[in-house]
Amino acid sequence: MIDTAALRIKANIETDPITGCWVWQRSTTGGYGRVRSNGRLGLVHRVAYRLWVGEPIDGMQIDHLCRNRACCNPAHLEQVTPIVNQLRACPPLTHCRRGHELTPANVYKYRGRRECKACKIDRQRAWREANPNWRTGATSTMPKEEAA
Ligand SMILES: [Zn+2]
Ligand SMILES: [Zn+2]
């Protein structure tokens, strides 16, 4: 079966002269256009990506570099992991609550969250000061991660 979605997309978009976005002119859901492709209703930008770029890798999301959800210009689309997509939509903090800069070297992952290493070192130092006998085994457990 020939997929005529490419023709349907071309017939229903208008190119934005400034951004170059292919703006979907038909109905949208949550800002995303929908088009029938191979008998199934799909998101226009995902269908366009498949048609002009290729099949996205399983589990990858199609992200708009132009941030225009109604756009389906393949040049404005990029496949990203869901995590990247989420970070782009909601950029991570640049500093922790106590003002340490969250550089890649100063961040570690704990239970899926980005935590500040400098704070952890401070906590451990404070704990050792409060428990001077920790090396001798008087107390055997290191402090638990504090819930932020
Ligand atoms: Zn665009
Ligand atoms: Zn910190």
Q: What is the pLDDT along the chain (148 residues), one digit of tens a residue?
A: 567 899 999 999 999 999 999 999 998 989 999 998 888 899 999 999 999 999 999 889 999 999 999 999 999 999 998 887 777 776 667 888 888 998 889 999 888 888 899 999 999 999 999 988 877 765 555 556 655 5
Q: How far is the CA of 78 from the centre of ligand 2 (A)?
A: 33
Residues sharing a CB contact under 8 Å with residue 3, sequence separation 6 or more, in sequence order = 37, 38, 51
The pTM of this model reads: 0.58
Domain boundaries, given as residue ranges, for the chain: 4-89, 92-140
Note the ligand closest to the C-alpha atom of 120. 2
Q: How far is the CA of 98 from the centre of ligand 2 (A)?
A: 5
CATH topology of domain 4-89: Homing Intron 3 (I-Ppo) Encoded Endonuclease; Chain A (3.90.75)
Note the ligand closest to the C-alpha atom of 70. 1
